[in-house]
């Protein structure tokens, strides 16, 4: 899982909640909006993966952003789309993909790797950092009536 730590964000969140409990929820919505941008950028990566692995085109594959006061969360379903997998269920039985003519999901990624979200975050780090700083700064200006 790719994680980026923002120094001072936890104390900012605690201060917001001391003013009003609903402000923490609004910060969560800011995080969800940034997560939606990560999902938008990750969709292009998923389309590129779909050319080689057909499961990225299935109706089961989903990217979604979640609201959390402490972090931006992007969920990938099924998890194999981000981490890869050795076996795949065929008619209810798990079978090794090495026996398939064409792999359905990519092979397992290294522990610090990924196939959809992580490459997107690494490729667009500066852009996403700017979006996050702008979104939280705008939120702080709204809270402080500046």
The structural domains of the chain, with segments of one domain joined by +, span 9-144
Cα 34 to Cα 80, 86, 90, 108, 141, distances in angstroms: 23, 32, 37, 28, 17
pLDDT of residue 53: 94
This prediction's pTM: 0.84
Q: Give mean pLDDT, residues 13-39.
A: 89
pLDDT (average), residues 125-140: 91
Query: Strand, helix or coil at 68?
Result: coil
pLDDT beyond 50 at 1: no
Average pLDDT of 69-73? Answer: 86
């Amino acid at each position: 899982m790719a994680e980026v730590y923002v120094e001072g964000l936890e104390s900012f969140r605690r201060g917001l909640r001391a003013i009003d409990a609903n402000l923490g929820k609004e910060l969560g919505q800011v995080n969800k909006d940034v997560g939606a941008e990560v999902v938008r950028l990750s969709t292009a990566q998923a389309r590129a993966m779909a050319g080689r692995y057909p499961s990225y085109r299935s109706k089961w594959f989903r990217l979604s952003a979640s609201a959390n006061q402490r972090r931006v969360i992007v969920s990938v379903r099924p998890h194999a789309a981000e981490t890869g997998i050795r076996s795949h269920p065929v008619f209810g039985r798990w079978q090794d993909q090495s026996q398939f003519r064409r792999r359905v999901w990519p092979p397992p990624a290294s522990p610090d790797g990924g196939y959809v979200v992580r490459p997107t975050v690494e490729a667009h780090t500066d852009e996403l950092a700017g979006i996050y700083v702008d979104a939280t700064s705008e939120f702080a200006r709204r809270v402080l009536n500046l």
